Structure 1
């Protein structure tokens, strides 16, 4: 186990063993830290980003460290990462071991303390997350689940759901994303071509509707009903 100690030089095999041990050690540490610590990052992603960042940074800041070992370690870690991803996809049991299962923390307006404890979050964190989703009362929540990436999925009780056209059985038109035809004083000809319009049409409408030129336009969009919206530099 001498390769764990500081030495003047390590063999390729010793560098590889170091990388493997570091990978699984940090995987274990990240698992123990809990989901809140790695919020919005999957466990494997968190570990690989942390380790590779440190491996590459050290040789760049310490002239006594060679780059060879860091390159070998990085290659080994990337290989381990790819093998782990493949294994997770192929073996569901391994997926459950590495990726934490969703945890129910609110059900039918009741806070589940055991769920909070398992997810390792406090009441303050729960209330903060609900506020961010514009929910002022826990009792309005039918179900809240703490996801593996550290986010909370919230489902309101049906009687507190916002009224939508589908609720009132109102027919609506399909969604159409307006195209950006001018940005920062330049016409986007690729987008303009998709609207079956040309530069002359754009220039003419800018003069007639806004009494301005293309160079004065910060942003201009055009929807499928030929509604032109223009935002000028101010």
Structure 2
């Protein structure tokens, strides 16, 4: 066990493997104790491997006295442990619950749950800031706010405060249409023209007649299903 805590002149391959495995497990439990705000939108295992690999790879690059053998072995061990952790968490829900905490409420029926704030380790100011990001100015409008294992907050408003959509009035709507970029920084994307069955001459004529401009003046131009052009010029 001495090679875990004290520096050595050299370590065997087995020593490097054991050291990497112990540190991997230690970092997982350390981050769990710190809380999911520390990982911020990353899964626990993703954060741990990014943290460890960054340090392992950086050391031999910045210190000529450190050989590459230890870093290579440690990296391989950590990647294997990472893939094993993902596989086991998919196979065993119990382990998944240990690695990724179960979501819990912060707000319910317009009331702030202080126990939830303590568990998430966030303050009232942090909670209000998250509400403002979602354009919610009043806690009473929130039916449910859930703290996710990734450190994000999922918000559900009371029905009377939800945005009205066409389905509320049972209105017919057009299918979703994602415009395609046909010109980018003065260059035509000919694959888009071929896809919509148009020629370069048609594009040039349309730009001159409808937008009174040339291709070289265009920063971005998109085209929809109805072949309508949206043009953004250099300014």
1:216 alignment counterpart: 217
1:111 alignment counterpart: 112
Asked if residue 163 in structure 1 is aligned to residue 164 in structure 2, the reply is: yes
1:231 alignment counterpart: 232
- 2:102 partner SS: coil
After superposition, the C-alpha distances for 1:82-136 in whole angstroms (9 at most, x for unaligned) are 0000000000110001101101010000001111111111111100000000000
1:3 alignment counterpart: 3
1:2 to partner: Cα distance: 2.1
1:37 to partner: Cα distance: 1.1
- 1:144 partner SS: strand
1:211 to partner: Cα distance: 2.4
1:193 alignment counterpart: 194
5 Å-filtered alignment, 1:40-189, equals 40-189=41-190
- Structure 2 unaligned segments of length 5 or more: list them: none
2:15 alignment counterpart: 14
- 1:166 partner SS: helix
1:210 to partner: Cα distance: 2.2
CA distance in structure 1 between the partners assigned to 2:66 and 2:72 by the alignment: 12
1:207 to partner: Cα distance: 1.4
1:63 to partner: Cα distance: 0.9
- 1:94 partner SS: helix
Instruction: Using structure 1 for the length normalisation, give the TM-score.
Output: 0.98
CA distance in structure 1 between the partners assigned to 2:88 and 2:193 by the alignment: 46
- Structure 1 unaligned segments of length 5 or more: list them: none
- 1:167 partner SS: helix
Instruction: Using structure 2 for the length normalisation, give the TM-score.
Output: 0.98
- 2:37 partner SS: coil
After superposition, the C-alpha distances for 1:133-165 in whole angstroms (9 at most, x for unaligned) are 000000000000010111100000000111111
Q: Number of residues paired by the alignment? A: 234
1:180 to partner: Cα distance: 0.6
Runs of 4+ off more than 3 Å: none
CA distance in structure 2 between the partners assigned to 1:192 and 1:110 by the alignment: 54
CA distance in structure 1 between the partners assigned to 2:193 and 2:135 by the alignment: 38
